[in-house]
Amino acid sequence: MIIFISIFVLTSLISSTLVFSSLNNFPIARPGCKSTCGEVQIPFPFGIKRKCYRTKQFLVTCNNTDFTPPKLFWGNVEITDISLDGQITVVRSIAKNCYDKQQNRSSDNNPILELPSNFRVSNTANKFTIVGCDSYGYVSGRRRIGRNFTTGCTAMCSSRNDLQERECAGAGCCQTTFPEDVWWVRIDVRSYSNYTKVSDFSNCSYGFIVKDKAFTFSKDNLTNLSNVTKLPAVLNWDIGKGTCEVAKSNLKAYACKSAESECYEPVSGSGYRCRCRNGYEGNPYLTSGCIDIDECTLKISNCTKNAKCENTIGSYTCSCPKGHKGDGKEGDGCVKKQSLMIAYVLIGIIALLLCIILLYLELKRRSQRKTKHKFFLQNGGSILQEKLATGEVSPQMVTIFTSTELQKATNNFHNSMIIGRGGFGTVYKGVLADRRTVAIKRSIRVDPTQIEQFINEVVILSQINHRNVVILLGCCLETDVPLLVYEFISNGALSSHLHDEAKARVLDWNMRLKIATETADVLSYLHSSASTPIIHRDVKPDNILLDHTFTAKVSDFGASRLVPVDLAQLSTMVQGTFGYLDPEYMQTHQLTEKSDVYSFGVVLLELVTGRKALSFDRPVEEKSLSSYFLYVLKQDLLVKIIDEKIVGSGNMEQIYSVCKLAKECLNVKGEDRPNMKEVAMELQGLILGGKHSWERNNADNIEEMEYLLPNNHDGMGGVSSSVGYDSISRDHIGLPINGGGGR
């Protein structure tokens, strides 16, 4: 306790001494106004009586009746120091919460501080502190920007031996900061167990806002703070509202009255302050408040030892003795004349080398800038700019990253940052300057025919707002190949979990059904709820990512198409991945939302069977999963291909229902398939334990489907090795048609 009080008194004395020394011999208050109260200076704009203060916010009172020496008050708040740098030190109450041995509670909680405009609690000069061994506390309040805030911390210990002198890191004492611009504050302190576990040495909690370094924790504080009622805290103040520019427009109300003063805006707050210019000191709020200081007498000049310092108005000069030349200031200072020629030669050489280096760097910078601009145009920059200008892409939704930013984020695209490879290229993990972890897709080659598809992915993703869609953060067009920046999904692609023996065991039936439902919900949203309907065109497990909670995130919209509201289908070149392609789409080249339904049906089969859509390692009849599924379904041998890892008590009915749903999705004719909204409702019904929400009575088309499915064609490509962020994979196809374009 003695140590704490000593520090507080010493801090106050030092603060007062600094004020006295800095303002000594300079005007402090207005003429005829009292400039001190006890040991506290009262500089204008503060004042005790009328015409001595600027506005009522700066009215203070000096109580010399009840206190010796007198004390200065601001309302009912005691002031121990006023600084013209925009701070005042006040004394504030401590919040307390205590229980005696009979568990009777006594408390002095919720000390509230409410400040007028232009005043706020300093978030840099104060700390919110909790003291106790079974304690937690909150500081809450309001900010000038119209927001509320709450923060706090916990102080715990089980024995006095846990405590460290002068340490306030959670054992018996904790400290934390709070936001800026705070004008209203409330403090609450409480106990987790009413001190029953530590009552032999601590039965109270204490909470307070205290000036930084004015409080040093001691073991004795667990008991002696009960005798302390107030501690110092720092408030910030501004002289007026608005910026300096606005304030200067009204000279009558402008507060910086001294001719040698200047206006500045503090880092936080909405007002302005005044200060004396360099070379002057005093009170800038008074007409003749800023007085020239003698830097030579005060020995605050930077003249060298052998130079002579001479004071000037607002500044000073340094002159060298005879036989020397220079400015007499630190650095070169004063040098002998005979050494000047050598110095000039050296300076000339250094200047020449510097010019050469700067010229080289400038030429290199221009070359890099020219190259980046070339890549920008080559990678579709003009197309993207046109879409931004027309409003097709929102600037708030898509960030244009620079190549420098992404190089730093990936350690210059180091191999250790690679999280996936495929025929399309490489995906890197990166950490941006703001600490966000992202996935950066980098193509392996520049294909001019894919540039429009790349820009298309940016356009489509900027219009999608769904929690189960991978968020596109932005792109970079300054490199040799275009880059896309996505949110980072930590658990990889669904395919890596389904087709890895160890991971697949973790993926039980409930998780697989949840993933299927979330994916169906996304596709339903794209088809019917998006502002413009979207057909994904490449639905597969490689493009379904899983986060740390195994929540599905649909990715890769490079092949997607926006559907005009007046068109039921689009004529396009065939694109997609073998094993998932709609047979009707392959024959007719007519793209509809039912193409995604077919692909999703194959995904359902992979979830149920654990098999790949195409596998050349299996017998010929089992190579195509969809064809083999229809075969075993026809032979009533469905149990033969169900993944044994998901079979459990009571879930076979759900599994058979999903298989039936998959069969409906795999109908050859698109008109016989359900839409994605119906599929999503069916899966949601299974999760909720409901019955089928719809029933289809179409005749089986298994023979027709088997005929059309690409199950026995070699050269159809393999299973994609992508990680979900790619749009150009080695098992994709693109078949040109007559009269059909990419858009």
Is the backbone peptide bond immediately before 69 cis, with ω within 30 degrees of 0? yes
- 480-499 burial, b if ≥16 CB within 10 A, otherwise e? ebbbbbbbbbebbbbbbbbb
Letter for the amino acid at 719?
A: V
Catalytic (active site) residue 731:
no
Residue 354 is encoded by which pair of tokens? 């510097």
Catalytic residue, chosen from 521, 538, 556, 726, is 538
For residue 363, what are the contacts with CB-CB under 8 A and spacing of at least 6? none
How far, in Å, CA of 373 to CA of 379, rounded? 10
Q: Which of helix, strand or coil describes residue 631?
A: helix
- Please check whether residue 272 is in contact with residue 264, taking contact to mean a CB–CB distance below 8 angstroms: yes
The Cα angle at residue 614 between residues 613 and 616, in degrees rounded to 5: 150
- H-type helices in 319-418, by residue range? 340-378, 381-390, 403-409
Quick one: tokens of 626? 């969809």
How far apart (Å, rounded) are the C-alpha atoms in residues 4 and 7? 5
Structure tokens at 108: 């002095």
Which amino acid would we find at residue 558?
Answer: G
Q: What angle do CA 537, 543, 545 make, to 5 degrees?
A: 145
Work out the burial of residue 428: count CB atoms within 10 Å of its CB; fewer than 13 is exposed, 13-18 middle, 19 or more buried. Answer: buried
State the CB neighbour count (10 A cutoff) for residue 544. Answer: 28
Indicate the SS3 state at residue 237: strand
- What is the distance between the alpha carbons of residues 301 and 318, in angstroms, rounded to a whole number? 9
Quote the longest CA-to-CA distance of the chain.
Answer: 113
Cβ pair 48, 62 in contact under 8 A: yes
Read off the tokens for 475: 């792109």
**Spatial distance between the Cα atoms of 155 and 189, rounded to a whole number of angstroms:** 11
Which H/E stretch holds residue 240? strand 240-241
| Burial letters 584-605, b for 16+ CB under 10 A, else e | bbbeebbbbbbbbbbbbbbbbb
The residues facing 149 across adjacent strands are: 141
Q: Which of 538, 430, 447, 445 is nearest to 493 (CA)?
A: 538
Q: Which residues does 589 contact at the CB level (< 8 Å), separation at least 6?
A: 571, 572, 573, 574, 735, 737, 740
Handedness of CA 361, 363, 369, 375 (dihedral sign): negative
What distance in Å separates the CA atoms of residue 360 and residue 352, rounded to the nearest whole number? 12
Which pair of structure tokens corresponds to residue 156? 């715990």
**CA–CA dist 637, 303 (Å, integer):** 98
For residues 731 and 580, give the distance between their C-alpha atoms in angstroms, rounded to a whole number: 10
Rounded to whole angstroms, the Cα distance separating 326 from 318 reads 9
Structure tokens at 224: 């002696």
Find, among 295, 286, 238, 293, the residue nearest to 259 by Cα: 286
Residues with catalytic roles: 538
